[in-house]
Amino acid sequence: MMVDRNWVPMKWPCGPLGIARRNKSGSIDNDVKGTLEAWVRPSALELLKDTPINCLIVDWADGGPEDSAQQQALKPLLEAGRRLGISFVGKFPPKESVSAAVPAARAAGLSAVICEDASAQSSDLPAIRQFPRDKAEWKNASTIFCTTENVWPGLNLQTMNGDTALAGPTGIPWVNSNAWFSLLARELTPGNILWLDFDPPAALNLLHPAAYALAVADSYAYGSRWIISLDDKLRAALPKGNSQAKAVWERLCEAVAFFENHKEWQAFKSQGILAIISDFRGDNAYLGGEVLNLLNRRQVQFRIMERVKSQPALEGLKAILWLDNEKPSAEQHAALLAFVERGGLVIAAAYWGDPAVTPTKKDPSLRYRLYNVGKGQIAVAEEAFQDPYQVAVDTHLLVSRRNDLVRLYNPETTNCHSSGESVSPHKGKRLVQVLNFSSEPASYVTLWVSGKVQSARFRQFGAAEAHTLAGRPASPGTEFDLPPLSVYCALEFEGTNL
């Protein structure tokens, strides 16, 4: 048995284990209890009819007295699900050893288990390794792997004043997004699939339909998948035929179906002329992650490169940010210097070029010393990299906006990502995805893309067909006026002048 890369996962909390857990945490009421009891019945699977969801994550064991009852209660659900083509993955608590429970899980018909226990990977039941995000063991990631401690995407509630989003240091509202982490995972575990585990925030009322669609988009657009997780209010309201709940559910499924219908995009590569090099582990993890996050928020498109690779692929790059605490190896040093000699820019916290070169200064606002080497430059920070925000700002300016691949006007709560068949935006198919992190539609957003293109194929959730969006020349690129943007749109480009 193997994990199925096409699984579309959803949390399916139910049964005695779910009730016991909620009792223990004191977060149970009659509605919650009723839902947990109802969702263990096969009839609950009706909810999934005509949806792309084909893999349910069920609580299998907690190491407590309810485990046996839970596994008994799940049997009819698992049997009914299998007949419908639904796979089940059993979830184990973080500290629990899985090996003892695997035989029962296999016998019951589970397709895989999710657990932190490394030994599960050697059992004959496929395991989906789970890690807290800041402790991800990239080298031990399974084909499908899962992280916890992710953020619910959207406007950062701590920077809200009522309905008004307060600006961050960038002048644009702060948003929560898992985008950077998905991009990092793609680079550090190539070929594997990241499932993001995060739950909706507790709310007094049903969440806005856009909130769930955004959770889907913020994952898929960057190459990962969200383990769909419904909040208590929604789960309770759905079986009651609540029309608002139904609309939320339909929007969520519509978003998932959209991405499942464009699976080829999942193989697209992040585009950028800037590479960020680090091992992104240990002492490098915080700075690396924050810089990726902040560069992404500035709409800077980048490629992530793992430092441990002795010969990073530098083709198509104009700049490299060496973010790792360690200096490059001799081999890497030679490759980087050759890159600079050819005209590239390397940004670093320390200088490791020819000591005979005397530095210059470009602009008083940039606290960097510039070493001209060959046709290129090494920009060395006058002080060590400390503030990730400043590193992101300085990097963007040192590379120059002249090299932007995309830009948004009236961006407010939106952000975008450029990917394609090639790491170069000028070869093959190109895709720019735009996300809105507010529950209010984003109006009058204009997307600027580098290159000259006549038009783009414009796609949105819920629209079966793409429609053509005409571009407007805005040298040296092209502008596209986007219609009011609820959550997400994608623009596909194809041509030789991208």
Partner 1 sequence: MMTTTCSRRKFLGAMGAAAGAYLVRPVMPLARAVPASRVAVGTCREYGPQVTATLARMFDQLGGLEGLVRGKTVAIKLNLTGDATGRLGYLPAEITHWVHPQVIGATVQLLGQAGARRIRLLESPMSTSEPLEEFMLQANWEPRDFSSAAPQVEFENTNYLGYGRKYSRFWVPEGGLMFKGYDLNHSYEDCDVFVSLAKLKEHVTAGVTLSMKNCFGVTPCTIYGDGSPVDEASLTPRGGRGPFHEGNRLPSKSAPPPVNNALTSKDPGYRVPRVVADLVSARPVHLAVIDGIHSMAGGEGPWCDNVRHVQPGLLVAGTNCVATDAVCTALMGFDPMADRGTPPFETCDSTLRLAEQLGVGTRDLSQIEVLGTPIASARFNFRHA
Q: Which residues bind partner 1 (CB under 8 A)?
A: 171, 363-366, 393, 397, 400-402, 404, 407-411, 444, 446, 448, 474-477, 479, 481
Name which of 64 and 168 has its Cβ closer to partner 1: 168
Q: In the bound complex, what is the minimum distance in angstroms from residue 81's beta carbon to partner 1?
A: 49
Name which of 261 and 400 has its Cβ closer to partner 1: 400
Q: In the bound complex, what is the minimum distance in angstroms from residue 409's beta carbon to partner 1?
A: 5
Name which of 65 and 171 has its Cβ closer to partner 1: 171
Pairing of strands 160-161, 164-165: antiparallel
Contact 420, 268 (CB under 8 A): yes
Q: In the bound complex, what is the minimum distance in angstroms from residue 213's beta carbon to partner 1?
A: 25
Name which of 284 and 446 has its Cβ closer to partner 1: 446
Q: What is the 3-state secondary structure (H, E, C) of the chain?
A: CCCCCCCCEEECCCHHHHHHHHHHHCCCCHHHHHHHHHCCCHHHHHHHCCCCCCEEEEECCCCCCHHHHHHHHHHHHHHHHHHCCCEEEEECCCCCCCHHHHHHHHHHCCCEEEECCHHHHHCCCCEEEEEEHHHCCHHHCCCEEEEECCCCCEECHHHEECCEECECCCCCECEECCHHHHHHHHHHCCCCEEEECCCCCCCCCCCCHHHHHHHHHHHHCCCCEECECCCHHHHHHHHHCCHHHHHHHHHHHHHHHHHHCCHHHHHCEECCCEEEEECCCHHHHHHHHHHHHHHHHCCCCEEEEECCCCCCCCCCCCEEEECCCCCCCHHHHHHHHHHHHCCCEEEECCCCCCCCCCCECCCCCCCEEEEEECCEEEEEECCCCCCHHHHHHHHHHHHCHHHCCEEEECCCCEEEEEEECCCCCCCCCEEEEEEECCCCCECCCEEEEECCCCEEEEEECCCCCCEEEECEEECCEEEEECCCECCEEEEEECCCCC
* Tokens (6 digits) for 495: 């041509």
Q: In the bound complex, what is the minimum distance in angstroms from residue 441's beta carbon to partner 1?
A: 15
Q: What residues contact residue 188 under an 8 Å CB cut-off, 6+ apart?
A: 136, 138, 280, 304, 306
Contact 248, 487 (CB under 8 A): no
Name which of 99 and 443 has its Cβ closer to partner 1: 443
Residues β-bridged to residue 459: 490
Name which of 85 and 171 has its Cβ closer to partner 1: 171
Q: In the bound complex, what is the minimum distance in angstroms from residue 371's beta carbon to partner 1?
A: 19
Name which of 401 and 467 has its Cβ closer to partner 1: 401
Name which of 178 and 436 has its Cβ closer to partner 1: 436
Q: In the bound complex, what is the minimum distance in angstroms from residue 350's beta carbon to partner 1?
A: 22
Q: What residues contact residue 161 under an 8 Å CB cut-off, 6+ apart?
A: none
Name which of 57 and 408 has its Cβ closer to partner 1: 408
Q: In the bound complex, what is the minimum distance in angstroms from residue 349's beta carbon to partner 1?
A: 19
Q: In the bound complex, what is the minimum distance in angstroms from residue 290's beta carbon to partner 1?
A: 19
Q: In the bound complex, what is the minimum distance in angstroms from residue 296's beta carbon to partner 1?
A: 16
Name which of 334 and 470 has its Cβ closer to partner 1: 470
Name which of 171 and 191 has its Cβ closer to partner 1: 171
